[in-house]
A = this chain, B = another copy of it.
Amino acid sequence: MEGPFVIVGGDAAGMSAASKAKRDDPDRDVVVFEKGEWVSYAACGLPYYVKGDVETLDDLVQVTPEAFVEERGIDLRTNHEVTAVDRAERTVTVTGPDGEFEQAYGDLLLATGAQAVVPPFDGIDLDGVFTLHNMNEAAEIRRYLGLDTPTANLPEMGYGAAAAEYAEAEGPESVAVIGGGYVGIEMAEAFAAHGLDVHLFEMLPHTLQPFGTEAAGVVEDHLREQGVELHLDTAVDGMVGDNHVEAIAAGDLTIPVDLALVGVGVAPNTELAEAAGIELGPTGAIATDEYGRTNDEQVFAAGDNAEMTHVVTGGPDHVPLALTANRAGRAIGATVAGEPTPVGEIAGTAAVKAFDLEVARTGIVDEEAAREAGFDPVSVTITARSRAHYYPGDEEIQVTLLGDRDSGRVLGASMVGREGVAKRIDTVATALYARMTAHQLSYLDLAYAPPFSPVWDPVLTAGKVLDGKLSS
């Protein structure tokens, strides 16, 4: 297509697309507009920055803006916000430090990501109430905790001075984490590492909803062992306080806290697309075809704002995760450069560290979701060992495996344990792509050595048990 390849959003999907397109078709102009100052950063690392495992925010930056411009030849403009798309004229309207202008495009990629959902809680604007929205907010949390933020190019932020004053004067001793998903669990660990009393609020009966109740049960026992006060099945009404948060109100409960972190999920940023007449799919994210195209052939969408095809259901799904964004961006970059490349399918594979536990999932874990997708789900949960039973450091692993009674196919799995979980889920994820039955899964030749696995890997044992249940 004539005209430059224009990309809205400079994170995983956007910069992957830009880099691939420029590499494959160096003569074409590639222009990226990023409304913030950070590009290509690892948002998944923010909890570990707050915790202190990652020293500086700069460590989370994979490629600097300078490198994109100078080494990769990409016309990257930070602090530039795209406010409108004119599909008829093939232009976008951009607001930058020097005012507003129009930019023509040949192909357009909307890589606008997602944003933290902020429920309309009472007192949401009090000092000391945070989301983990971006790099700056992570730094702000550390300041509020009275911790240093040794980062070269960290900008001055809003309420930094007041926060620092508060931190110095009193210093938070307790925190409410609202939401028991990835971010909530990871931030509970981060806060606990700084000695804070942690209250974790979850509206649903269990934390880590996508991982299923079996895994969640093990995680919750572990969180309690680690001193986290769990408030499950508990809807938060709001934050109480004068200037800064002093308590959380939830029904009859009022829990005094000095800090609140809201991590109740993310929502795709679709406003720009919707205003331009780009269609959304059933999940509320932007509908795309196998090449990441929207209903406009010249407009692509990728990353946390876009739907992908689920490998088990064959239908659209919205699972905003980093690999999906990177890969779809890269594929679109190749397509735009002249080599049509499908963005691939997703299995919703995910892992999370919860204090000393590894938790992982892939495919469909929830029986109700499986039924909705037309399957007749059968589920087994087993416990096995991470190493040979006689080898030191051996730990228990719990595996839940879901299969379809009609076809015998494996539909998904969750796992939890102190070691050997996060990458073991990949075996099941791979089996999902191959549409393997439980029987086939149980007959895989997986690695065995006493320090790393029992003779029958936990995945094989789960496959064997599920196969037995499916054929009974």
Binding site for B on A (CB under 8 A): 12, 42, 44-45, 48, 53-54, 59-60, 62, 311, 321-324, 326-327, 344-353, 358, 360, 362, 388-392, 420, 422-427, 429-431, 433-434, 436, 440, 443-453, 455-457, 459-460
Contact = CB atoms under 8 A, between A and B. Distances in A.
B447 A429 contact: yes
Given A446-B426, A447-B426, A358 B388 contact: no
17 contacts: A42-B390, A44-B388, A44-B449, A44-B450, A53-B392, A54-B390, A54-B391, A323-B460, A324-B445, A349-B448, A351-B453, A353-B451, A422-B447, A426-B426, A426-B427, A429-B446, A434-B436
Nearest to A363: B445
Contacts of A388: 42, 44-45
A149 to B, nearest CB: 15
A322 B457 CA distance: 12
B445 A323 contact: yes
Given A423-B453, A456-B323, A351 B448 contact: yes
Given A42-B388, A453-B422, A323 B430 contact: no
7 closest A-B pairs by beta carbon, nearest first, are A434-B434, A422-B452, A351-B447, A430-B430, A344-B443, A347-B445, A59-B390
Given A59-B390, A326-B456, A427-B430, A348 B54 contact: no
Contacts of A443: 327, 344-345
A451 B322 CA distance: 14
B452 A353 contact: yes
A346 B59 CA distance: 43
Question: In this complex, which of A59, A322, A346, A448 has the most chain B Cβ atoms within 10 angstroms of its Cβ?
Answer: A448
Nearest to A447: B351
A447 B425 contact: yes
A448 B288 CA distance: 23
A350 B453 contact: no
Contacts of A311: 445
A12 B429 CA distance: 29
So how many copies of this chain end up in the complex?
2
B448 A322 contact: yes
Contact of A390 (B45, B456, B457): B45
Contacts of A53: 391-392
Contacts of A425: 447
Contacts of A451: 48, 353, 358, 422
B420 A450 contact: no
A245 to B, nearest CB: 28
A389 B360 CA distance: 20
Contact of A445 (B345, B352, B390, B424): B345
A246 B31 CA distance: 73
Contacts of A392: 53
Contacts of A424: 423, 426
A433 B430 CA distance: 10
B327 A449 contact: no
Given A429-B447, A433-B440, 6 more contacts: A42-B450, A42-B455, A48-B451, A54-B391, A344-B443, A427-B429
Contacts of A433: 434, 436, 440, 444-445
